[in-house]
Chain A
Amino acid sequence: MFTDVKRWFMWGRTEQSGASQYKWVIEPVGEGFVARVKEFWRYRRILWFLSVQQIKGSYQGYSLGIGWLFLRPLLPILISTFIFGNLLNVPSDGLPYFLFFLAGQASWHVFERSLLMVTRSLYQGQGMLKKVYFPRIMAPISSMAISVVWFGTFTGLLILAAFYYLFKDGVWYLRLGPQLLIAPLCVVASLVLSLGIGLFTSVLQLRFREMRYTLRYFTRFWSYLTPVIYPMSLVPPEHRWIIYINPMAPLVETFKWSLFGVGSFPVIPLLSALAVIAVVLLAGIWYFSRMEASAVDRM
């Protein structure tokens, strides 16, 4: 008796006092967009939690610790620098090729990894998705959290590299100024694009196990259509639009421009890329919310 009273008293003190009596309805037809957004907001703590777990889980048990974090992207970049910069002498807008390629990779690699993580998210989260309810879309969104770490790593590498060249050649390549703020925005835009595409691929991954491998294959070609290993200036101006159809191209180009002031700030391609990203994201959300129920059936 006493515990009961105490319990209700305690309930009353929390902000959820009404929650104990709220009514819920489950129906075949999903709720409307506004209801979904509200629900998303109600579950926002899960998003944070899943994101933190994603990051914790990825770097748990690494014996090299933080060193590995930097080493993992650095080694392939060093190899590529040697091949493209030293052997093939690919031009780099006057920058040391290593720095140029590092910046390109920073924006491209974060996008690519994020896309692969989002694609895998539903497949990996099956155990939980089958047992408890939370808005499904949180699984793909939270799986992008790791990209923040990657971006941080690349930022660290870029700063280290800039200092390295400062001491070696006495040149400070980074262009400090307000335009530097555009760089992270480019990365954010590319992450949104990866989410938009990932909302499709994560659902498809459940049906076609080879989705992820196919995608990996595909992104390799995509990276060649993006000015990562070569500068945009290498492309004849009359053909640049072909490259700029790819929404990642202006993002990478702008990223490099905002860091070093090399290349150009492609206004129109950038706007068209943003439009494409918005469309892809909306289509992804639409597709995902239409397919999520049957996706869980399939798990």
Chain B
Amino acid sequence: MDNLFVDSLSKSFILGRAPEEQPFRMRQIVNTARRWVGRGPADDAPKGRREFWALKDVSFRVQPGTVLGIIGANGAGKSTLLKIIARVLTPTGGRVVGVGRCISLLELGAGFDPDLSARDNIIMNAAMNGVPKSEVMRRFDAIMEFAETGEFLDTALKHYSSGMYLRLAFSCAINMDPQILLADEILAVGDVAFQERCLQRVKDEAARGLTVLFVSHDMEAITRVCARVIWLNRGAVFRDGDPEEVVDEYQNAIWETADLATAERGRHVNRFGRILSVALVAESGNEIGAAPTDQRCAVRIRVETFIKETITQCAMDLYAGNVWLLRARADKSRRVDPGLYDVYFRIPSDFLAQTTYTVSVSLTLRRKNDERDYPLVMYKALKFMAYTGEGTVERTSKRTALLAPRLNWDIEPFAVRTEADSGQASDGNTSDAAADTTLAADPATKAQP
């Protein structure tokens, strides 16, 4: 049996001012007068007034014990959906049928009154959610224990930090024994420890039959907690299904649109030279669109320089999604004469993971005897996918890390090492890595599992 059923739910808002809200204009009065006389414009409805459909025909069913993730860009209708289910907003069409107590955490809070103490707020919140006072008193300790704000029990909420406020709100909501919990961005302001406890608690409660509608922009949390994900796009359900698939698709899509939206792509040209193109090339030198992770490839930057003896220094930034993975720098600067040049950043095999990367390149040009640098930058110059070819070790999870370098490893019998031994061992590793790659990657980034 479902315990939440959303049936072709729609919600429209009227944008712009209603006629009666328009500031008084002489022309309106004149027009009204002319209408009375019998000739005049039929209607002077203000311009720019239109309907905006925040939700359009959204339908889904949720079974008890499901954590349903809701993702989508800002303004996709996620919060509106939750507000309607929480009864704060009234739908324009469709209906929602739910079973059991529904508790909401909207807009970072449970509707607390900042002037009241935590104690009073908990009691009031319970009353709003139809929980009798006797029951709240019984749960009081559990609420305070989870929120970890016990010593501020009688402090007015306005003195709480936003994190404490959220803790209290979440703890209060989850301890009210709801059947349905509407959680809008509950992870936004908590610290990492609390986020973990939050997610764990949500999982535990879901195992006992709690239905959670979980809105978040934290895709990692979504894939971890949710059993199912709905992707809302412009007020409609765009995808509904397995969290990993939907999230992956969503992330790729945002990345593409974000790419298009980047108007500022940096400075491509100055008086010393310009960046002509950035491409991904295979070992053979052919341009390729996607990189097989088990083969070597390179990022080729085609540059033109204009002035004799320009001192050139290059760098390349590699991003996955919005994570800045690494910065690769050329090991030394070169002196070049006017002409066309190709700069290659070679990417070793077994280094990339199966995901989408973006490359930004920068070129620092300097004249001899001139202290100043003249940078050329091309943000998001190149975007490419990496894919695992044959012969790659199967990973257990479908989700990948952002980098998957093959590191040298060894297995040895345990022995107590002396300091000299360990020093030697690490030296060996470093030289190995240097020999393997031409990239000067930050070792911390590379060491990701």
Contact = CB atoms under 8 A, between A and B. Distances in A.
Interface of A: 4, 7, 10-11, 14-16, 19-28, 30, 42-43, 45-46, 49, 53, 57, 60, 127-134, 207-208, 293, 296-297
Contact of A25 (B13, B96, B104): B96
Contacts, number: 113
Given A4-B208, A16-B132, A128 B100 contact: no
Contacts of B208: 4
B88 A130 contact: yes
Nearest to B138: A10
A132 B128 contact: yes
In this complex, the member of A4, A15, A20, A42 whose beta carbon has the largest number of chain B beta carbons within 10 angstroms is A20
A31 to B, nearest CB: 11
A22 B98 CA distance: 8
A132 B85 CA distance: 11
B63 to A, nearest CB: 15
Given A132-B88, A133-B128, 16 more contacts: A7-B177, A14-B135, A16-B130, A19-B130, A26-B84, A26-B90, A45-B127, A45-B133, A53-B120, A128-B111, A132-B106, A132-B111, A293-B90, A296-B90, A297-B14, A297-B89
A25 B88 contact: no
A132 B91 contact: no
Query: Which 9 residue pairs are nearest across A and B when measured between Cβ atoms?
Result: A132-B111, A131-B111, A293-B90, A133-B87, A26-B96, A45-B127, A27-B95, A128-B111, A132-B128
B159 interface: no
A297 B91 CA distance: 10
A219 to B, nearest CB: 23
Contacts of B98: 23-26
A213 B109 CA distance: 32
A235 B434 CA distance: 105
Contacts of B83: 130
Contact of A21 (B13, B99, B127): B99
A28 B92 contact: yes
B110 interface: yes
A132 B172 CA distance: 14
Contacts of A24: 97-99, 102
Contacts of B134: 14
A129 B90 CA distance: 12
Contacts of A297: 13-14, 89-90
Contacts of A26: 84-85, 87, 90-91, 95-98
6 contacts: A19-B101, A21-B99, A28-B93, A53-B116, A57-B115, A132-B128
Interface of B: 13-14, 18, 20-21, 83-102, 104, 106-107, 109-111, 113-116, 120, 123-125, 127-130, 132-135, 138, 177, 179, 208
A49 B121 CA distance: 10
B99 A22 contact: yes
Nearest to A47: B127
A57 B157 CA distance: 13
Contacts of A16: 130, 132, 135
B115 A60 contact: yes
B23 to A, nearest CB: 11
Contacts of B116: 53
Contacts of B18: 207
Contacts of B133: 45
B107 A131 contact: yes
Contact of B109 (A15, A19, A20, A131): A131
A54 to B, nearest CB: 10
A182 B154 CA distance: 42
A101 to B, nearest CB: 35
A201 to B, nearest CB: 15
Contact of A14 (B89, B95, B132): B132
Contacts of B113: 53, 127-128
Contact of B100 (A21, A46, A129): A21
Contacts of B13: 297
A82 to B, nearest CB: 38
Given A23-B97, A23-B98, A49-B124, A28 B89 contact: no
B111 A127 contact: yes
Contacts of A46: 124, 127-128
B100 A20 contact: yes
Contacts of A130: 83, 88, 106-107, 111
Contacts of B88: 129-133, 296
Contacts of B120: 53
A230 B385 CA distance: 87
A269 B313 CA distance: 94
Given A20-B179, A296-B88, A296-B90, A15 B95 contact: no
A128 B129 CA distance: 13
B357 to A, nearest CB: 41
Contacts of A127: 111, 113-114
Contacts of A14: 132, 134-135
A42 B135 CA distance: 17
Contacts of B128: 43, 46, 132-134
In this complex, the member of A57, A130, A131, A134 whose beta carbon has the largest number of chain B beta carbons within 10 angstroms is A131
Contacts of B177: 7, 11, 20
B115 A25 contact: no
A24 B130 CA distance: 13
Given A26-B91, A46-B128, A131 B104 contact: yes
B97 A208 contact: no
Contacts of A43: 128, 130
Contacts of A7: 177
A287 to B, nearest CB: 14
A202 B387 CA distance: 61
A296 B208 CA distance: 34
Contacts of A207: 18, 20-21
Contacts of B125: 132
B86 A132 contact: yes
Given A23-B97, A25-B97, A28-B91, A42 B86 contact: no
A28 B99 contact: no
A42 B127 CA distance: 10
B133 to A, nearest CB: 8
A213 to B, nearest CB: 16
A21 B129 CA distance: 15
A127 B13 CA distance: 19
A210 to B, nearest CB: 11
A128 B94 CA distance: 25
Nearest to A297: B13
Contacts of B14: 297
Contacts of B93: 28
